[in-house]
Amino acid sequence: MPIFGTSILSFIPSWSPEGGKYAIEKTAEYGFDMLEICLPASMDFDAKTTKKQLDNKGILGRCTLNLPKYCHIPFYPEKAVAIIKAALDKVAEMDGDFLGGVLHSAIGTFTGKPLSDEEKVILHQVFSEVLDYAQKSNITIAPEPINRYESYVYTAADEVLNLIESLKKPNLGLHLDTFHMNIEEQSFYDPIIKAGNHLKHVHITESDRGMTGEGNVHWDDFFKALGEIKYEGPLVLENFSSEIKELVGPTSLWRPSKYNSEDLAKGSLVFMKQMVDKWY
């Protein structure tokens, strides 16, 4: 069975010691098994204390990282290597085995052109180096493709799967997000089947970032595919409420949300469990 998780963004706009403690408490209170922690670019994150707080509440923790603008791989490969390695160190301090997120590019950074062959070479060099570094601590790295309005680097599952095939590193996987799939994929079923055991992490998000089951995502196709590949990794809720004011701009929540963050989290968890019961 999959692991039912949620993101810190269900509770707080970004990591802080106080906010993190609150998010951990709420994750446990609402009935989730796991909390995804989006690491701050500053790496101001006390991994050991956080691990103790997670253990005390009986929930798992997983880390992700979204590259900041000054670490966009095609422009700043050395800075990208440095921040990804720093993130991997934090994962190791938490006794973790995974780093996901937008690790291929900075969200919102564009050249006005498609990804070039020269940029692909740089990406391969960077990932090869950080994957070797991660392997020393038995950590899997799984880049998350995001939609064309947020990146030009990896926007669909096939592009990350091509990277996996090219590099042939055992600790490189795929992180998928249903919000981005709804824009970029022609099917919710086929990419899951094609990924197979390369799929390591999933963001569960409705097409409008709202309550799961009330938008345009083809959830039956998606969960049917997950059941067929026997996916047992995390299903991490990543929807947003305009109740958390600091997220309105970054997530383009220009209209007030129908639900507050608590109802959104609890209702979506019920929906995820129903879909797993149906298709597993």
Residues catalogued as catalytic: 144, 238
Owner of token pair 């019920």:
270
Q: In the structure encoding, which two tokens stand for residue 142, read together? A: 């799984």
Strand order in the sheet with 34-38: 140-143, 98-101, 60-64, 34-38, 3-7, 234-237, 199-204, 174-177
Owner of token pair 């934090």:
90
Residues 88, 80: Cα–Cα separation, whole Å: 12
**CB atoms closer than 10 angstroms to residue 183:** 14
| Distance set, CA 122 to CA 60, 110, 138, 170, 240 (Å) | 34, 16, 24, 20, 34
**CB atoms closer than 10 angstroms to residue 118:** 9
Residues 6+ apart with CB under 8 A from 139: 88, 91, 92, 96, 97, 98, 99, 171
Q: Which residues pair with 14 in a beta bridge?
A: none
Residues 30, 11: Cα–Cα separation, whole Å: 11
CB 78 within 8 A of CB 86: no
Q: In the structure encoding, which two tokens stand for residue 1, read together? A: 């069975």
